[in-house]
């Protein structure tokens, strides 16, 4: 079987206060997503969100069901799946239909797809498929969305070190999904802050995946309530779980790119409770 998983149980802000650095990382940091010729997921009990990676280096790999967890004969029996390729060119096959995904291109697969395979065009430059999955109550069509087709938003400035482009890719304003939303934010050279001013949204949770972090550099991800923030130092191609009660923001020692994925009760991208910078503690 090529699909493996681990679980992370949900904890609240009061429990999080007592965690040391190691405890914080064990609960919220996903330190490795890509294993050669494997599909690996972390199952979060916040909104039953799954974040993972498919890394087909030398063979085609299948998205198997996880019987102890999903109790279904195939993975997408009651789920939807979002994919963004962060490696070399690759192919995703969905029930016999072939979709080519180049770097920074995405694919949405709706509930009910039975057979999903991942492969790379070139084993010397393999694809790395970053995966997010959520429960789904409705089946929507599988659809590829390129970076050029994304809804783009320019935010921030060089003066505040947060000039960035938000690429809304698997978002309800671009395609139909049940609750999963995904996109990619690219920071301009010289900018390091993301999602600043910060915010919370108690109606949905989020996962950040940081990549294109230059060798020798890192990102400090900030989380926690507005009045009691914590930080987690992160390396390239690591992800972090952001609970509904937590802010989610970061600053790097260089510019970088990150993928955000969300799920929950409300699909309105702007439904957030903004936190003035001067209120952060």
Residue 206 annotated in ligand binding = yes
Q: Which two three-digit tokens encode residue 109?
A: 């697969």
Residue 248 annotated in ligand binding = yes
Residue 93 annotated in ligand binding = no
Distance of alpha carbon 4 from alpha carbon 71, whole angstroms: 14
Residue 97 annotated in ligand binding = no
Task: Kindly give, in sequence order, each residue whose CB lies less than 8 Å from that of residue 158, ignoring residues fewer than 6 positions away.
Answer: 188, 190, 191
Distance of alpha carbon 268 from alpha carbon 24, whole angstroms: 29
Residues within the annotated binding site for Zn(2+)?
199, 201, 206, 248
Q: Binding site, residues?
A: 199, 201, 206, 248
């Amino acid at each position: 079987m090529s699909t493996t998983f681990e679980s992370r149980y949900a904890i609240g802000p009061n429990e999080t206060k007592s965690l040391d650095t190691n405890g914080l990382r064990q609960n919220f940091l996903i330190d490795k997503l890509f294993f050669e010729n494997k599909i690996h997921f972390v199952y979060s009990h916040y909104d039953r969100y799954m974040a993972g990676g498919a890394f087909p280096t030398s063979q085609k790999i299948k998205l198997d069901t996880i019987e102890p967890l999903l109790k279904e004969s195939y993975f997408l029996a009651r789920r939807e799946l979002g994919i963004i390729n962060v490696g070399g060119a690759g192919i995703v096959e969905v029930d016999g239909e072939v979709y080519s995904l180049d770097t920074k291109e995405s694919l949405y697969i709706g509930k009910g797809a039975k057979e999903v395979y991942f492969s790379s065009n070139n084993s010397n430059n393999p694809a790395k498929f970053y995966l997010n999955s959520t429960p789904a109550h409705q089946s929507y069509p599988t659809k590829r969305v390129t970076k050029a087709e994304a809804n783009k938003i320019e935010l921030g400035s060089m003066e505040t070190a947060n000039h960035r482009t938000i690429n809304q890719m698997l978002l309800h304003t671009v395609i139909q999904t049940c609750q999963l939303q995904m996109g990619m934010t690219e920071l301009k050279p010289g900018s390091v802050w993301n999602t600043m001013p910060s915010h919370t949204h108690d109606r949905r949770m989020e996962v950040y995946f940081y990549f294109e972090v230059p060798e020798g550099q890192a990102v400090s991800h900030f989380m926690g309530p507005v009045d009691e923030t914590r930080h987690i130092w992160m390396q390239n191609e690591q992800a972090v779980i952001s609970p509904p009660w937590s802010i989610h923001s970061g600053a790097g020692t260089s510019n970088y790119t990150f993928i955000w994925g969300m799920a929950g009760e409300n699909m309105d991208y702007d439904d957030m409770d903004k936190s003035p910078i001067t209120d952060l503690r």
